[in-house]
């Protein structure tokens, strides 16, 4: 992927998630093409529970920023932690589903933004994003993470969740090959295809990327499916 086609992929990703909005939750809840059988599904949900518990360990905070919030699968978790959530996504379609799922909670402020042009308007006690970092083109990673760091209060926390490379995590008609190509083809239920970026981070690698923006992070993996990080500014306790 070169810089020339980077903007095209970013736009394609936005279009993909807009078109997928109504079927997105099938992935997380292991339905339809994402149903990989009882044993795999049980593994998935047990590992989701591990990550949910880790998120709860952050404890109560006042203001949360959720980037690429999607349909609200994690926004509803964040609502148990924070007084106010700013939830940002590029897709009006997913924002509408999120708003509906959360009962139009007055505690959530929705903003439609492209995260590659967005700048934070304030600082937050917790910045959270799930299954988003893997879609950031590597040449944009440092700039994106620096913007994230700018959105954090001095003692604010960062929580990231993403995918591990595991073929049963995706749809049964997606072929997940470890060929080093970060551009992947994704299909909708109707067969329509899109190109997206998908980078699978290793814990050491993610820890180093966060160190580069002065975030000390504890990065963990679940047995098969997830990588997650909890971080704070390296001078937070100074
Ligand atoms: C894999 S989904 C993750 C959604 C949610 N965080 C979750 O865990 O279910 C990626 C999300 O990123 C959003 N997105 C894609 N490109 C974006 C961009 N350039 N700026 C903001 N959001 C974007 C999509 O609309 C989609 O909701």
pLDDT digits (tens, 9 = 90+) for 11-20: 999 999 999 9
Instruction: Please give the distance, rounded to the nearest whole angstrom, from the Cα atom of residue 115 to the centre of ligand 1.
Output: 9
Please, what are the domains in the chain?
3-233 (3.40.50.150)
Contact 6, 139 (CB under 8 A): yes
Q: Tell me if 95 CB under 6 Å of ligand 1.
A: no
Query: Residue 199 — φ and ψ, nearest 5°?
Result: -110, 130
Structure tokens at 171: 């749809």
- Residue closest via CA to ligand 1's atom 5 equals 70
Dump strand ranges (E) for 70-214. 82-89, 108-112, 124-130, 152-163, 183-187, 193-197
Structure tokens at 193: 């295809």
Average pLDDT score, the chain: 94
Enumerate the β-bridge partners of residue 189. Answer: none
Distance CA 164, CA 145 (A): 20
Distance CA 174, CA 163 (A): 15
Confidence of residue 237 (pLDDT cuts 50, 70, 90): low
- Residue closest via CA to ligand 1's atom 1 equals 131
Instruction: Please give the distance, rounded to the nearest whole angstrom, from the Cα atom of residue 119 to the centre of ligand 1.
Output: 16
Confidence of residue 236 (pLDDT cuts 50, 70, 90): low
Distance CA 225, CA 144 (A): 24
3-state secondary structure of 214: coil
The mean pLDDT value for 28-47 works out to 94
Residue 175 has pLDDT above 90, yes or no: no
Q: Tell me if 171 CB under 6 Å of ligand 1.
A: no
Contact 6, 137 (CB under 8 A): yes
The mean pLDDT value for 66-82 works out to 98
Contact 203, 210 (CB under 8 A): no
Residue whose entry in the numeric block shows the structure tokens 């180093």: 208
Query: What residues contact residue 144 under an 8 Å CB cut-off, 6+ apart?
Result: 115, 116, 136
Contact 148, 207 (CB under 8 A): no
3-state secondary structure of 175: coil
Contact 58, 230 (CB under 8 A): yes
Distance CA 186, CA 225 (A): 18
Give the pairing type, strands 152-163 and 226-233: antiparallel
Distance of CA 190 to the CA centre of its chain: 24
Residue 205 has pLDDT above 80, yes or no: yes
The mean pLDDT value for 181-185 works out to 91
Structure tokens at 228: 């997650």
The atom number, within ligand 1, closest to the CA of 66 reads 6
The mean pLDDT value for 108-122 works out to 97
Q: What per-residue confidence (pLDDT) applies to 11?
A: 95
Residue 216 has pLDDT above 60, yes or no: yes
Instruction: Please give the distance, rounded to the nearest whole angstrom, from the Cα atom of residue 31 to the centre of ligand 1.
Output: 20
């Amino acid at each position: 992927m070169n810089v020339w086609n980077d903007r095209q992929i970013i736009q394609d990703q936005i279009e993909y998630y807009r078109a997928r909005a109504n079927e997105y939750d099938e992935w997380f809840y292991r339905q339809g093409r994402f149903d990989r059988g009882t044993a795999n599904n049980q593994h998935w949900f047990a590992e989701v529970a591990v990550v949910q518990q880790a998120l709860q360990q952050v404890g109560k905070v006042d203001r949360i920023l959720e980037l690429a919030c999607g349909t609200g699968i994690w926004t509803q978790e964040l609502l148990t932690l924070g007084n106010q959530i700013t939830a940002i996504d590029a897709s009006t379609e997913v924002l509408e589903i999120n708003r509906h799922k959360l009962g139009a909670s007055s505690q959530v402020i929705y903003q439609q933004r492209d995260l590659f042009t967005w700048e934070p308007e304030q600082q937050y006690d917790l910045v959270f994003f799930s299954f988003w970092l893997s879609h950031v083109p590597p040449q944009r990673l440092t700039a994106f993470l620096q913007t994230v760091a700018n959105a954090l209060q001095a003692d604010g926390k960062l929580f990231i969740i993403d995918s591990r490379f595991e073929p049963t995590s995706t749809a049964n008609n997606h072929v997940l090959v470890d060929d080093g190509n970060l551009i992947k083809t994704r299909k909708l239920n109707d067969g329509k295809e899109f190109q997206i970026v998908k980078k699978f981070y290793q814990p050491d690698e993610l820890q180093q990327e966060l160190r580069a923006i002065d975030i000390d992070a504890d990065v963990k993996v679940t047995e098969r499916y997830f990588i997650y990080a909890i971080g704070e500014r390296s001078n937070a306790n100074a």
